């Protein structure tokens, strides 16, 4: 059970990170085309939901973790920032106005920060 | 068991973090290349063909190197480099095999980008070859992610 939860949680994290990489190409000036953006958005939605649900499930399942641990609460806050800026970046890109690049890099930084929290688990 | 799974020496954190950054960048770059080229069809635009080549050369290959170097670092930290368990063997097998596929894909993408730059046909068969090689690599990485997380002995 633990192995599958972890595998799916990590897979969801890969989807979120893949979106950040795919949108980075756009932020750097490339035009990957509509299908690529649509796939990136689906990965973001599925991965975003998957990391949160499976992450909370893992926190409840693993004996050494509690849902109110500082690093887990911090990760939820950073997750909210990542999802918020990600959604906004997507809208701004679709509308063609606003600062897509800044929003995207904030989202990417938040994804990296999530990874830092997941690896170092400060306070665990 | 689940408590033991949560405990990891601090010395492993940096190589693990870099390993994950590399792996996630690698998978993201390969998805970008595969979806862009597949989405553009047989005759993708010159910009998409160039993106495929640059994505492989400047993102996927450096990320592969980061993954491989940090894998060695981690195996050394965990004292698993002498007699590696099965799940590490899966990782080595995956990375070594896909390196050849990525080199092949990069060469094909480079040739396609060169043709497109000269105003010739926009990829065609070369684009399809890149998509196939990258897709096989992505499937292999899915297996590798499963092996790294579930650690079958």
* Bridge partner residues of B116 (DSSP): none
Predicted pLDDT at B123: 61
Q: Which residue of A has its CA nearest to B147?
A: A7
Q: What is the mean pLDDT of residues A97-114?
A: 94
Predicted pLDDT at B86: 87
Domains: count for chain B: 1
Does the structure show a pLDDT above 60 at B2? no
Calculate the alpha carbon distances from A62 to A6, A7, A54, A77, B148 in Å.
11, 14, 12, 21, 18
Which band of pLDDT confidence, cut at 50, 70 and 90, is reported for residue B43? low
Does the structure show a pLDDT above 60 at B118? yes
Q: What is the mean pLDDT of residues A65-94?
A: 93
Residue spans of the domains in chain A: they are 2-120
d(CA B21, CA A35) in angstroms, rounded, equals 25
d(CA B151, CA B144) in angstroms, rounded, equals 10
Predicted pLDDT at B1: 43
Distance from CA of A57 to the nearest CA of B (A): 13
Q: What is the mean pLDDT of residues B81-86?
A: 80
> Cβ of A21 and B149 within 8 Å?
no
Predicted pLDDT at B122: 63
- B4 within a domain of the structure (yes/no): no
Q: Complex ipTM, two decimals? A: 0.92
- B2 within a domain of the structure (yes/no): no
Q: Which among B22, B147, B2, B110 has a CA at the least distance from the CA of A14?
A: B22
Q: Is B31 exposed, middle or buried (0-12, 13-18, 19+ CB in 10 A)?
A: buried
Structural domain containing residue B92: 11-150
Q: Does B32 touch chain A (CB under 8 A)?
A: yes
- B58 within a domain of the structure (yes/no): yes
- B3 within a domain of the structure (yes/no): no
- B54 within a domain of the structure (yes/no): yes
> Cβ of B36 and A112 within 8 Å?
no
What are the chain B neighbours of A86 within 8 Å (beta carbons)?
Answer: none
Q: Which residue of B has its CA nearest to A40?
A: B32
* pLDDT mean across residues, chain B: 87
Which band of pLDDT confidence, cut at 50, 70 and 90, is reported for residue B134? very high
| Helix, strand, coil fractions of chain A, as percent rounded to 5 | 80, 0, 20
Predicted pLDDT at B42: 56
Which run of H or E residues covers position A96? Answer: none
What are the chain B neighbours of A18 within 8 Å (beta carbons)?
Answer: 24, 27-28, 31-32
What are the chain A neighbours of B38 within 8 Å (beta carbons)?
Answer: 35
């Amino acid at each position: 059970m633990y192995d599958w939860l972890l595998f799916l949680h990590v897979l969801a994290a890969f989807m979120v990170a893949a979106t950040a990489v795919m949108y980075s190409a756009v932020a750097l000036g490339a035009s990957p085309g509509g299908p690529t953006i649509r796939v990136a958005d689906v990965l973001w939605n599925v991965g975003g939901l998957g990391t949160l649900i499976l992450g909370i499930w893992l926190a409840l399942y693993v004996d050494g973790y509690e849902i109110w641990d500082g690093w887990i609460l911090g990760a939820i806050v950073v997750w909210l920032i990542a999802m918020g800026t990600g959604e906004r970046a997507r809208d701004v890109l679709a509308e063609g106005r606003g600062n897509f690049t800044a929003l995207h890099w904030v989202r990417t930084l938040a994804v990296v920060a999530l990874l830092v929290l997941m690896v170092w688990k400060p306070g665990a | 068991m689940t408590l033991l799974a949560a405990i990891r020496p601090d010395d492993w954190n940096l190589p693990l973090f870099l390993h994950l950054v590399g792996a996630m960048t690698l998978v993201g770059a390969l998805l970008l290349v595969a979806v862009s080229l597949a989405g553009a069809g047989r005759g993708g635009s010159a910009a998409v063909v160039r993106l495929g080549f640059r994505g492989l050369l400047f993102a996927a290959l450096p990320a592969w190197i980061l993954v491989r170097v940090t894998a060695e670092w981690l195996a050394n930290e965990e004292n698993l480099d002498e007699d590696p368990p099965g799940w590490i063997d899966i990782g080595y097998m995956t990375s070594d095999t896909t390196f050849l596929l990525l080199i092949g894909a990069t060469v094909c993408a480079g040739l396609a980008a060169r043709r497109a730059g000269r105003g010739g046909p926009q990829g065609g068969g070369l684009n399809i070859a890149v998509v196939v090689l990258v897709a096989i690599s992505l499937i292999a990485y899915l297996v590798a992610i499963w092996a790294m997380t579930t650690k079958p002995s």
